[in-house]
């Protein structure tokens, strides 16, 4: 292959980048139209646009994950593990998703001490949190809880909902959650779990590395998306 020929994966990555930028513009404009509909009292249009915005945000999150995985695979992602204010990070992610929460009329609570500091890649962990929230938005009845705790040298980040919980076949450990197989019945590609698993594994401290866990229970008895980082 000639030196100036671009690889197929590079071409796909470039296309994904363009789609992401275009989608961001569309989401911004849709949010403006949605807010105007709400002010004008056109609640039906507001609800319809809310559903579209929710799906567009999910698509955007998937595109960002794909680009991040591509860069990690090519060893060109600028991984930056540094001390991070976890409460501030969670607050920023929740603010970014405020329109979706308002549309779905969800109550989202944060249980994280103001002095919770940990060494993480802030951008990648934000992507993990966005992925978990998108999943929780889809299956919760009306409540989501984002909680953290530091125990025995680990930071545990939990995203809990009050839905029906994960089905038995999904209650598996971190290695299985990283399975990239496609489920044509549910439309799941496993991308979110795989991305989150890879990000967790990138966080290491000595002989310990991060992990992703899926379980049921928590404060609301529903699904729990758990990330543990050393």
Judge if 14 and 63 occupy the same domain.
yes
Asked whether residue 3 is domain-assigned, the answer is no
pLDDT over 80 (residue 56):
yes
Structural domain total, the chain: 2
Do residues 197 and 121 lie in contact, with contact meaning Cβ atoms separated by under 8 Å?
no
Q: How confident is the model at residue 81, as a pLDDT?
A: 94
pTM of the model: 0.81
pLDDT number for residue 183: 45
Mark whether 115 and 172 lie in a shared domain. Answer: yes
Confidence of residue 6 (pLDDT cuts 50, 70, 90): low
**pLDDT for 184:** 34
Residue 145 shares a structural domain with residue 41: no
Q: What is the pLDDT of residues 85-126, one digit of tens each?
A: 999 999 999 988 887 787 788 899 999 999 999 999 999 999
pLDDT in tens, 39-54: 999 988 888 888 888 8
Q: Are residues 111 and 225 in the same domain?
A: yes
Range of the domain at 17: 8-73
pLDDT band at 14 (very low <50, low <70, confident <90, very high): confident
Question: Could you tell me if 55 and 91 lie in one domain?
Answer: no
Q: What is the pLDDT of residue 189?
A: 53
Produce one character per residue of 49-79: b if its CB has 16 or more CB atoms within 10 Å, e if not.
bbeebbebbbebbbbbbbbbbbebeeeebee
Domain of 196: which CATH number?
3.30.565.10
């Amino acid at each position: 292959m000639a030196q100036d020929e671009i690889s197929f994966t590079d071409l796909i990555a470039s296309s994904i980048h363009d789609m992401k930028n275009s989608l961001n513009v569309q989401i911004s404009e849709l949010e403006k139209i949605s807010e105007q509909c709400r002010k004008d009292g056109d609640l039906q249009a507001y609800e319809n646009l809310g559903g579209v915005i929710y799906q567009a945000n999910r698509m955007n999150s998937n595109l960002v994950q794909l680009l991040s995985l591509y860069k990690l695979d090519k060893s060109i992602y600028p991984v930056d593990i540094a001390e991070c204010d976890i409460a501030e990070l969670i607050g920023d992610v929740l603010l970014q998703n405020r329109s979706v929460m308002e549309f779905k009329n969800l109550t989202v609570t944060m249980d994280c001490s103001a002095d919770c500091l940990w060494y993480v890649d802030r951008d990648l962990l934000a992507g993990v949190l966005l992925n978990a929230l998108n999943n929780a938005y889809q299956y919760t009845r009306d409540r989501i809880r984002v909680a953290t705790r530091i125990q025995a040298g680990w930071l545990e980040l939990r995203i809990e909902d009050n839905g029906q919980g994960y089905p038995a076949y999904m209650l598996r450990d971190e290695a299985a959650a990283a399975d990239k197989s496609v489920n044509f019945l549910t439309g799941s590609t496993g991308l979110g779990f795989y991305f989150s698993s890879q990000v967790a594994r990138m966080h290491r401290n000595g002989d310990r590395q991060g992990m992703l866990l899926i379980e049921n229970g928590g404060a609301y008895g529903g699904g729990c998306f758990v990330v543990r980082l050393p």
